[in-house]
Amino acid sequence: MHLAIPSTSSRIGDHEHVLHWAPGPAPVARFAVEDPILNVLYHVGRCQEPSDATAIWESALRIGLVTLPQLRRTAWHSTAVQNVLDVVGTLSDSGVETRFLAIARSCGVAVQQQVVIDGHPVDALIGERLVVQLDGFTHHRKPKDRRRDLRQDARLALLGYTVLRFDYQQVMFDPTYVQQTIINAVAQGLHRARR
């Protein structure tokens, strides 16, 4: 459990809680028991791994707790938080997509998100021809969802695209596999249009 406490509080911690003494950018009433969302995001940006912090920030954006202009106008006074702000965006539909972007960036690959190909959106496009589809639980748990995905993959293959499909487990818990697959596909030139 993470707790934001006044900067004047004792520095003696315990093993059950993570204590945050630094004040966030938004004022807090003296006896308030809940921090404003900007302060929560501030502590997340300072405390969590950058890829996790980015996923949390993008989730807050996606459900409308904050807006990107609001985040950009806030005086964060933290390099770690500013680094999260520099990569956060509004195109990811899920934390899986946010995590995938971090994986792709870690191997130097530029990714376009939510690209429409032949009237249908794809989660990610690398180069001109390498499509990446990311399967979270919400939209990929029923047999009809799987059939829809297979139809889309076949349509893209017939248009000359290579499709890589990763699921939640792979992206969240086996990023090395995802990274190596992307690196190998790019090394084979699968991201380039055939001339």
Q: How many separate domains does the chain show?
A: 2
- Residues 130 and 103 both lie in one domain: yes
- pLDDT of amino acid 166: 96
DSSP labels for 87-125? H--S--SSHHHHHHHHHHHHTT--EEEEEEETTEEEEEE
- Residues 74 and 118 both lie in one domain: no
- pLDDT of amino acid 65: 95
- Residues 143 and 160 both lie in one domain: yes
Greater model confidence, 109 or 20: 109
Our separate counts of H helices and E strands in the chain read 8, 6
Q: Residue 139's domain spans which residues?
A: 95-187
- Residues 82 and 99 both lie in one domain: no
- pLDDT of amino acid 5: 75
Residue 195 lies in a domain: no
Residue 169 lies in a domain: yes
Residue 149 lies in a domain: yes
Q: Which of residues 87, 109, 136 is at a domain's end? A: 87
Burial of 8 (0-12, 13-18, 19+ CB in 10 A): exposed
- pLDDT of amino acid 152: 93
- Residues 82 and 114 both lie in one domain: no
Instruction: Dig out the tokens for 101 from the structure.
Output: 């972007």
- Residues 42 and 118 both lie in one domain: no
Q: How many CA atoms lie within 13 A of 104 on its CB side?
A: 26
Q: Which of residues 55, 87, 119 is at a domain's end? A: 87
* pLDDT(185) > 90: yes
- Residues 117 and 179 both lie in one domain: yes
Instruction: Dig out the tokens for 70 from the structure.
Output: 């609001």
Q: How far apart are CA 168 and CA 174, in angstroms?
A: 9
CATH code at 145?
3.40.960.10
Residue 192 lies in a domain: no
Give 108-163 pLDDT, tens digit per residue.
Answer: 999 999 999 999 999 999 999 999 999 876 655 678 888 989 999 999 999 999 99
Confidence class of residue 16 from pLDDT cuts 50, 70 and 90? confident
Greater model confidence, 6 or 186: 186
Residue 61 lies in a domain: yes
Confidence class of residue 194 from pLDDT cuts 50, 70 and 90? confident
- Residues 180 and 116 both lie in one domain: yes
- Residues 129 and 165 both lie in one domain: yes
CB 158 within 8 A of CB 126: no
- Of all residues in the chain, the percent with pLDDT exceeding 90 is 58
- Comparing C-alpha atoms, which of 51, 50, 4 is closest to residue 28? 4
Q: Which of residues 44, 64, 87 is at a domain's end? A: 87
Task: Using the Cα atoms of residue 81, residue 86, residue 90 and residue 95 in order, give the sign of their dihedral.
Answer: negative
Q: Is 182 helix (H, G, I), strand (E, B) or coil?
A: helix
- Residues 54 and 99 both lie in one domain: no
- Residues 79 and 39 both lie in one domain: yes
- pLDDT of amino acid 138: 60
- Residues 171 and 118 both lie in one domain: yes
Greater model confidence, 142 or 40: 40
